[in-house]
Amino acid sequence: MAKGEETRERIVRHALQLSSTEGLEGLSIGGLATDLGLSKSGLFAHFGSKEELQLAVLKLVAERFEREVLLPAFRAPRGEPRIRRVFDRWMDWMNDAAQGGCPFVAASFELDDKVDSRPRGYLVTAQRLLLQSLARAAQIAKEEGHFHADLDPEQFAFEMDGVMLSYSHWKRLLRDPKAEVRARQAFERLLAASRRMVNQTAS
């Protein structure tokens, strides 16, 4: 059926927007209903529980990230160009995301301690997938000869993740106008290190 599905999507879209400032736990059924001109119970019926609503929000985020970041980036040529496209799209994603920053980032630090919650489980899966895609892109860059043969693709993903998180921290909390320049510089340094010598082991 069509009508219910449409309303449900309207709800989830708005819930995503709200959650980016209030957090997933800060979402309220009543508040959402008022915003959308629905009754509390009418809205609630679409999900059956608040947890299910949170899950729906996370699924929408994952779907959008796939569509707006990963898929377009993976259409770029294999190797370093593709990695750069991931970075550029990812930065755009960080800047968009409805003035509330990346919902994944917010959810990551909100749910990290909520063991055994379904939203957390889903988020972990989605984030692992995301970072594995990135690692795969780095692996391809090795095969193309753009990155050094000793490079650890997962380590690359770890460090690029750090750049994005630091960017979010400096821009959204600290309101540092240089945040974007710093992120780009950090990324360039990471790329440079990945091309040449790399991977001296710690201590």
The answer to the question of residue 19 lying near a copy of itself (CB under 8 A) is no
Closer CB to DNA, 51 or 143, in the complex = 51
Separation of first and last alpha carbons in the chain: 61
Question: In angstroms, rounded to a whole number, what is the distance separating the alpha carbons of residues 166 and 179?
Answer: 8
| 104-123 binders of a copy of itself (CB under 8 A) | 105-106, 108-114, 120, 123
Q: How many CB atoms lie within 10 A of CB 149?
A: 9
How many chain residues touch a copy of itself (CB under 8 A)? 57
Per-residue x/- track, 128-167, a copy of itself (CB under 8 A): x--x----------------------xx--xx-xxx-xx-
CA distances (Å), 73 to each of 47, 90, 137, 146, 198, in order?
Answer: 33, 9, 10, 17, 25
| 46-105 binders of a copy of itself (CB under 8 A) | 100-101, 105
Among positions 24, 27, 137, 157, the unique one binding DNA when judged by CB under 7 A: 27
Q: How many CB atoms lie within 10 A of CB 90?
A: 25
Give the CA count within 13 Å in the CB-facing half-sphere of 141: 31
The answer to the question of residue 116 lying near DNA (CB under 7 A) is no
Amino acid at 141: A
Amino acid at 13: R
Which positions touch a copy of itself (CB under 8 A)?
20-23, 25-26, 100-101, 105-106, 108-114, 120, 123-124, 127-128, 131, 154-155, 158-159, 161-163, 165-166, 168-170, 172-175, 178, 181-189, 192-193, 198-203
